[in-house]
Amino acid sequence: MTLDPPYDHPEYRSTALRAPRKPLLPLPHTLSELTGPVFGEGALGELDADLTRQHPGEPLGERIVVSGRVLESDGRPVRNALVEIWQANAAGRYVHENDRHPAPVDPNFTGAGRCLTDADGHYRFTTIKPGAYPWRNHPNGWRPAHIHLSLFGRAFTQRLVTQMYFPGDPLFEFDPIFQSVRDQKARERLVSTFDWETTAPEWALGYRFDVVLGATPMEDD
Amino acid sequence: MTLLPTPSQTVGPFFSIGLCVLPSNELVPGGALRIEGRVLDGADEPVPDAMVEIWQAGPEGTYLPSFGWGRCGTDGEGRYSFVTEKPGPVDGQAPHLVILVFARGLLRPVLTRVYFPDEAEANAADPVLAAAGDEAATLVAESTDAALRFDVRLQGDRQTAFFAL
């Protein structure tokens, strides 16, 4: 059972010319689908997991810790999984030449990080809570605050790119990307939870976001 | 215990700040195989904000943990390229690369394969190409002077064949 969003989702206008229309072919169950790349510590820089220390000064905004586990659908942790994140700054602005939102760039914040999961599948980033920002998908459209995550599992077909949201955002019901996941319970799995255990006293609020990768084709058999 | 998977969300328009910082499209520097092409939308317009990832076996036809993955963001003309070497045949299949394409406007990636035009005999015996039927031709790259060319057409009459993920 897939709970992923459909390709064709008219409320998200960019799908109109990009969603494939022909039926998908059955996924082959071969080694090509069941294997995947392994990344080592060599892929990472020392400050990659702390987005608040990548520049000479401190970025503006609310410092947060985002952590969780990467799991298989049977509950096993995914070890040494590469987790990559990117996000807007506290003002809702990306360090990208095509971002025209008239909000300030923060010279002390790039908004990109990477880490590997540990033996229990844990990952952890220190960052700044991103701001909401407008987009031109529809009149007065605003994206709820989110952090983009990219993950590798054991198999290349477990590859996942998703977005992590923050609890209680009033923009959820108006966001066609969040709402593209039709099943309410599945949508809720995109929302992080505020977490005292992750919260660092007198330093940073903590948010927990566990990620479950799809089963490999073999496990579906 | 069965945990339900975390749903996919689009990579959006700004992924390059996080995913394309380190060049990752030369799997084998100076390698003998250059594969290039464009990502095109349903109006045949280039997709300038797509990310193409490949996964391939080594020349001996085995998958290795530390070789075979590459990533390339498309440029303003929708172009991507990889420099690598040709994979060997794997598991009774013709040599091929697995490709995932992510883009703004794709709420989940598309999965396809690239086969080699100079492998007619192996391609004819490949079970995945056989299962693709009429669409198999969209999975075979074209040979040009210096490279293999493989365009990914997301939509339209000439849409590339994609596999269910």
For range A71-99, the mean pLDDT:
97
Nearest-by-Cβ selection for B7 from A21, A36, A181: A181
Task: Summarize pLDDT for B125-146 with one digit per residue, the tens.
Answer: 999 999 999 999 999 999 998 8
Start-to-end CA distance of chain A, whole Å, equals 13
Give pLDDT, residue B19: 96
Question: Which residues does A220 contact at the CB level (< 8 Å), separation at least 6?
Answer: none
pLDDT in tens, A157-196: 999 999 999 999 999 999 999 999 999 999 999 999 999 9
Structural contact between residues B4 and A69, judged by C-beta atoms closer than 8 angstroms: no
What are the tokens at B147?
């490279």
CA-to-CA distance for A164 and B141, rounded, in angstroms? 37
Active-site pick, A114, A146, A154, A165: A146
**For B35-75, what is each residue's pLDDT tens digit?**
999 999 999 999 999 999 999 999 999 999 889 999 999 99
- Catalytic residue flag (residue A12): no
Q: Is the pLDDT of residue A2 over 80?
A: no
Does residue A218 carry a pLDDT above 70?
A: no
Window 164-203 of A: residues touching B by CB (8 A cutoff) are 177-178, 180-181, 185-187, 189-190
Mutate to test the interface with B, among A25, A29, A105 (most CBs of B within 10 A): A25
- CB of A124 within 8 Å of a chain B CB? The answer is no
Token pair of B6, please?
């975390």
List the Cα angle B108/B111/B112 in 5-degree steps: 155
Q: Given a cut of 80, is residue A91 above it in pLDDT? A: yes
Spot the catalytic one: A148, A159, A187, A189.
A148
Residue pair B32/B86 in contact by the 8 Å Cβ criterion: yes
pLDDT in tens, A29-79: 899 999 999 998 888 989 999 999 999 999 999 999 999 999 999 999 999
In angstroms, rounded to a whole number, what is the distance separating the alpha carbons of residues A29 and A218? Answer: 7
Answer whether residue A128 shows pLDDT above 70: yes
Maximum Cα–Cα distance across chain B: 54
A13 is catalytic: no
Q: What is the CA angle B85-B87-B90, rounded to 5? A: 170
Give the Cα separation of A181 and A20 in Å (integer). Answer: 17
List A9, A63, A94, A165, catalytic entry: A94
Contact B78, B44 (CB under 8 A): no
Residue B44: what pLDDT?
Answer: 97
DSSP for A36-102, written as a single string: -----GGG--TTTTBTTSSSSSPPSS-EEEEEEEEE-TTS-B-TT-EEEEEE--TTS--SSTT---S
Does the structure show a pLDDT above 90 at A217?
no
Could you tell me if A68 and A133 are in contact, meaning their C-beta atoms sit under 8 angstroms apart? Answer: no
User: What's the order of all strands across the beta sheet hosting B69-73?
Assistant: B69-73, B50-56, B96-103, B110-115
Residue A99: closest C-alpha in chain B: B14
Q: Which of B14, B53, B159 sits opposite A99 (nearest CB)?
A: B14
* First and final C-alpha spacing in chain B: 22
Question: Looking at residues B86-101, what average pLDDT do you find?
Answer: 96
Q: What is the mean pLDDT of residues B86-111?
A: 97
Distances (CA, A) of B132 to A33, B80, B135, B160: 16, 25, 5, 11
User: Quick one: what percent of chain B has pLDDT higher than 90?
Assistant: 94
A-B CB pairs within 8 A amount to 220
Band of residue A95 on the pLDDT scale cut at 50, 70, 90: very high
Decide if pLDDT at B5 tops 60: yes
Residue A1 is predicted with a pLDDT of 47
> Is the distance from CB of A101 to CB of B8 less than 8 angstroms?
no
Tell me the shortest Cα–Cα distance from B31 to chain A, in angstroms: 19
Percent of chain A with pLDDT over 90: 91
Question: ∠A144-B165-A1 over CA atoms, to 5°?
Answer: 80
Q: Is the pLDDT of residue A221 over 50?
A: no
User: Taking 90 as the threshold, does the pLDDT of residue A111 lie above it?
Assistant: yes
* pLDDT reading at B97 higher than 80: yes
Q: For residue A13, give the 3-state DSSP assignment.
A: helix
In DSSP terms, A205 is beta-bridged to A64
Contact call for A177 and B108, based on CB within 8 A? no
Give the model's confidence band at B165: pLDDT under 50 very low, under 70 low, under 90 confident, else very high: confident
**CA dist., res. A134 & res. A214, Å (int):** 31
Structure tokens at B38: 């464009």
What average pLDDT score do residues A197-218 get? 92
**Mean pLDDT in chain B?**
96
User: Does the active-site annotation cover A9?
Assistant: no
